[in-house]
Amino acid sequence: MCQSSQIPISVEETPSFYGIDHYGFPRAGADDPLDPEGYYPPYFQSEHFQKYGYHVEELRGGFYWVTSAGYDAAFVVTEEGVVAIDAPPTLGENMLAAIEDVTDRPVTHVIYSHWHADHIGAASVFGPDVEIVAHRITKELLERFPDPKRPLPTRTFDDELVLEVGGVPLRLSYRGENHCPGNIFIYAPRQKVLTAVDIVSPGSVTFMHCDASQNISGWYEAQSQILEYDFDYFVGGHHMHYGTYEQVKLCVEYFTDVLEGATAAVERFSRSDALADIVTGTGWNRIFVGTENWISSMANYTTRHVLEKETSDGRLWWERLAGATTQTKYHAYTVLESIRLERPRPDYRLRGENPPVFLT
């Protein structure tokens, strides 16, 4: 068992919320709507989960999902051994406990979805003798930023790899940068289970800023790529649930609305009259204040568009996906920035005296 270096912090040492007046983030209040009915599954209140902090469940044919109710991972039991998929620190040694709950076979292989520590930061619990499979870029990043708790992959690939263990195939695919470079799709065709981490989180709108993703255009593309697979179960890496195909489609619908609102916001506020009204309205000696007001205006416009729009079944988003009222503003900002930085723009500033001011 690993010795933890985490320092306990008492309630007395930390306030319930650390506020710094108008310069900081506001506190989310109790007046926000409750999460949608059914978001918290039965296991969450079970004695076992409350005592041990994990839940394991067979999806189909020896493919198991394991969760800490914030992060999730998976493993596949085969005749030759166990193939683990990720090892989040929030699960840590509970990955071993979950596996031991269902089999006495050893872990022989570990697949890294991507290089981020929040998903593979406990991979060292599997010991030094396992084969670790990952994309080539994941290995390069771990070589550049070494971490003993994230051992280097021993086998890598570029585009496609079929990993077969004990007669059970797993199809690993890299379809371009999305959440981060090297983030892969892991498909179990016999069980019809797809694992794609940090793209969508079934039942919720996922964590802020599009799950801290780096390439938002690629991240949106990955949502469409997910729907190209024939799957019955989906493992997304986060929150309370594995997902179904329809639940993944619902998350994609939400982010389609975010992109729609953000696109409209850019067209509305990125004009010379918007510059004069928003930026110069605070004075040229407060240019960053004006800039924040411009960005915030677009984010607020997008957020309102999303939260007030009727969804495909007539309800609002906060009635269907957890986190909609608190996370949408952060997604709005990130998608707006991706429009400015990654997507084609219709024009650019012209030369000459007093041309129309162009905002990117």
Lowest-confidence range among 51-60, 120-129, 179-188, 350-359? 350-359
In this prediction the pTM is 0.93
pLDDT at 61 over 90: yes
pLDDT higher at 293 or 163:
163
Backbone angles phi, psi at 140, to 5 degrees: -60, -40
| The CATH number of the domain covering residues in 37-243 | 3.60.15.10
pLDDT at 353 over 70: yes
pLDDT at 119 over 90: yes
pLDDT of residue 279: 64
Angle between helix 245-269 and helix 287-308 axes, rounded to 10 deg: 140
Q: What separation in angstroms does the CA of 121 have from each of 89, 213, 276?
A: 5, 18, 48
Rounded to 5°, the CA angle 102-108-113 comes to 90
Band the pLDDT of 289: cuts 50, 70, 90. Answer: confident
pLDDT at 2 over 60: no
Q: What separation in angstroms does the CA of 187 have from each of 155, 201, 252, 278?
A: 18, 17, 19, 49
pLDDT at 52 over 70: yes
Lowest-confidence range among 23-37, 53-67, 186-200, 310-324? 23-37
Mean pLDDT in residue range 321-348:
93
pLDDT at 346 over 80: no
Arithmetic mean of pLDDT over the chain: 93
Percent of the chain whose pLDDT exceeds 90: 77
Lowest-confidence range among 67-81, 108-122, 158-172, 287-301? 287-301
Q: Spell out the domain ranges in the chain.
A: 37-243, 257-342
